[in-house]
Copies of this chain bind each other. A is one copy, B any other.
Amino acid sequence: MHRKTLIIKTGSREEFLDITAKVREFIRSTGVERGCLVVFVPHTTAAVTINEGADPSVIKDLRNALHRLVPYGDRGYGHREGNSDAHIKASLLGSSLHLLVEGRELLLGTWQSIFFAEFDGPRQRQVWLSLVF
């Protein structure tokens, strides 16, 4: 198994960062021909998701839709830190992805990119990559 921790700095409270290039770079650096990649976010107010990276408005629409479904600062929350919306969004998108590697390349569809989803930034975050072969 090869492992790597990506360090990510987010610049605003809610932000989606395309980490596909960094993931591909990690896979190539291992030289592994074929295996399974786990992308894991070790935080409870951030997540990871796959969506279209070509048109940035897709991700903006996703961020806005989550913001509308789970409002920030809603008076009904009990958690005193005031970031319950971020915890809820994290569970809706999920904290891990499971992907395949073949021919030393990550297998993704044509329009798919991997996004780190920040819901309580700006912060310094981690993404754990593990390539099992």
Q: Which residues in A have some Cβ–Cβ distance to B below 8 Å?
A: 1, 3, 34, 36, 38, 40-44, 49-52, 55, 57-58, 60-62, 64-66, 69-70, 76-81, 84, 87-88, 90-100, 102, 107-112, 126, 128, 130, 132
List residues of chain B with CB within 8 A of the CB of A109.
41-44, 126
In the complex, how many angstroms separate the beta carbon of A103 from the nearest chain B beta carbon? 12
| Pair B90/A61 contact, Cβ less than 8 Å | no
List residues of chain B with CB within 8 A of the CB of A110.
42
Given A61-B77, A79-B61, A52:B111 Cβ within 8 A? no
| Pair A38/B40 contact, Cβ less than 8 Å | no
Cα of A43 to Cα of B57 in the assembled complex, Å: 17
| Pair A62/B78 contact, Cβ less than 8 Å | no
Closest 4 pairs (CB-CB, A-B): A42-B109, A57-B78, A61-B84, A57-B79
| Pair A91/B79 contact, Cβ less than 8 Å | no
List residues of chain B with CB within 8 A of the CB of A65.
70, 84, 88
List residues of chain B with CB within 8 A of the CB of A3.
102
List residues of chain B with CB within 8 A of the CB of A62.
84, 87-88, 91
With CB as the reference atom, state the residue of chain B lying closest to A16. Answer: B91
| Pair A44/B52 contact, Cβ less than 8 Å | yes
| Pair A99/B40 contact, Cβ less than 8 Å | yes
